[in-house]
Amino acid sequence: MENSEKELAVLKAAANEIRQDIIRMLGTAGSGHPGGSLSAADIVTALYFKFLRIDPENPKNPDRDRFILSKGHAAPVLYSALAQRGYFKREELLTLRKLGSRLQGHPDMKKLPGVDMSTGSLGQGLSAANGMALAGRLDSKDYRVYVLLGDGETQEGQVWEAAMASAHYRLDNLTAFLDHNRLQIDGPIEEVMSPEPLADKWRAFGWDVQVIDGHDMNQILQAVERALTVKGKPQMIVAETVKGKGVSFMENQAGWHGSTPNQEQTEKALAELLANKL
């Protein structure tokens, strides 16, 4: 199904706003993770502004869809989406990582409404998603569970134990995204501890797998729409992305995994994003 040009333009603009928020938050905080937050912005935008059945006025609604940011260090992308959806005021974004802030370096479900799982210890998000998906089945709920993993994160053995469980229990109410930007804090994933070939591995573990351009909004929407039709299998959407996407001097640079921009770099990054604003 082709999505309308108007809808795509709205979503692309929302993703650009999220990227601007990420830069402002991290430039103000002076610590955090820009690279993997920027690479995931289009995926998170598609979920929060198109697919997730959520209500900021009732964030604990038992019938809501769930989203787990397994790569919890990319918290800024989630915080921006939650703020834009109305879970809290956008001004609070600039309290990121400050003492007493609800916006911690990794998401905390006990402090911030809209966060479905506390994450940050890599490798655990898919296990939690399995539990939520199984609970939905046992409770005869029709909600869906979405989880976003990093490609470096798939070096964790727990991911593959969880992957086996997802397929074994035929969790077709579970859709995972893999942010395949090919870089982690120590360099290229293939040099640190190669998890490749990722798409083939997920297929071998019994998942329905799609491979898409993770910055093409239409491809993201079509992939999720197709996943909604899959029966009897969990769905993996391998999204080919660029670490630091949208900021020229951050793109494809492992050094920006956990380094934040100074004032001059913040201004330059925002100028680039504003120039590309639809």
Q: What is the pLDDT of residues 107-137, one digit of tens each?
A: 999 999 999 999 999 999 999 999 999 999 9
Q: Which of 58, 156, 163 is nearest to 114 (CA)?
A: 58
pLDDT of residue 214: 98
pLDDT tier at 20 (50, 70, 90 boundaries)? very high
Q: Is the four-CA dihedral 81, 83, 84, 85 of positive or negative sign?
A: positive
Contact 20, 270 (CB under 8 A): yes
Segments forming the whole domain that contains residue 222: 5-275
Q: What is the pLDDT of residues 24-75, one digit of tens each?
A: 999 999 999 999 999 999 999 999 999 999 999 999 999 999 999 999 999 9
151: Cβ–Cβ under 8 A, 6 or more apart, which residues? 178, 179, 180, 181, 182, 184, 189, 195, 198
Contact 109, 115 (CB under 8 A): yes
Q: What is the pLDDT of residues 235-266, one digit of tens each?
A: 999 999 999 999 999 999 999 999 999 999 99
pLDDT tier at 14 (50, 70, 90 boundaries)? very high
pLDDT of residue 176: 99
Number of domains in the chain: 1
Mean pLDDT value across residues 200-228: 98
What is the CATH classification number for the domain harbouring 240? Answer: 3.40.50.970
Task: Tell me: pLDDT of 226 over 60.
Answer: yes
pLDDT tier at 276 (50, 70, 90 boundaries)? confident
Could you list the beta-strand ranges (E) of the chain: 66-69, 145-150, 174-180, 183-184, 187-188, 208-213, 235-240
Mean pLDDT value across residues 79-94: 98
Tokens 């979405």, residue located: 146
pLDDT of residue 81: 98
Q: What is the pLDDT of residues 147-195, one digit of tens each?
A: 999 999 999 999 999 999 999 999 999 999 999 999 999 999 999 999 9
Structure tokens, 67: 């989203």
pLDDT of residue 2: 64
Task: Tell me: pLDDT of 278 over 60.
Answer: no
